[in-house]
Structure 1
Amino acid sequence: MPQFLIAIHRPLDYDPLLAEDAAMTQEITDLNQAMRAAGIIVFVGGLNAPASARSIQIQANGEARVTPGLYLNSSEYVGGFWVVETPDLDDAISWGKKAAVACRAAVEVRPFHSRK
């Protein structure tokens, strides 16, 4: 069965302590439980704040250089994600819509390369 990434995007100034209330936390918990009941979750996880990120880039001399922060300069970042196995993109999108509502955020749904 195909696998899909469902990624939650947050603005750089997002503060979960201010933005996430008990209702939102419960909706995300309910969504996780629904996905588990449907048997589609491969992996789910929330990510720490962008300040905790480390980026690694290969230099001209072949060395890997580690720098603090996100790799891409953007006004948003991936705050968490699910990897799901669903029959098709339409089904993954339906779960992505539920994730957008529960997380009150923009969501990206993207298929993984085929494992054939």
Structure 2
Amino acid sequence: MPGVPAGRQRTSSADAESRLMLKASRTAIAIGRHTRPATSFWIEVSQKDKLSGPPSAMFVKTARPATSVTSVTLPHAGHRMEVWGGLIPQCLDWLAHTVPAFAHAA
């Protein structure tokens, strides 16, 4: 590639996102399998999302107590911010039931 030193290639933002997602997924899976913090996660898994779907599903599958994972699986959601719009009420309800500081005022 012109202007790029030998052995170094420019990467697209999609390549960079893929590498970042892979690193994050390995970290999440390691947390679920080995670290087991007393932490609750709410996660959306899309079966259509080839980038984050499989590692997200693996995280859900490998998490062990004291780590708690609540997942919502959407078959055709993909990897888009618009997906979250419809999930915000469900996510906030989960947060209110999981974290006392977020509970609805009586």
TM-score by length of 2: 0.27
Whose helix fraction is larger, Structure 1's or Structure 2's? 2
Whose strand fraction is larger, Structure 1's or Structure 2's? 1
The structure number with the bigger radius of gyration is: 2
TM-score by length of 1: 0.25
Name the structure, 1 or 2, with higher relative contact order (CA <8 Å, separation 6+): 1
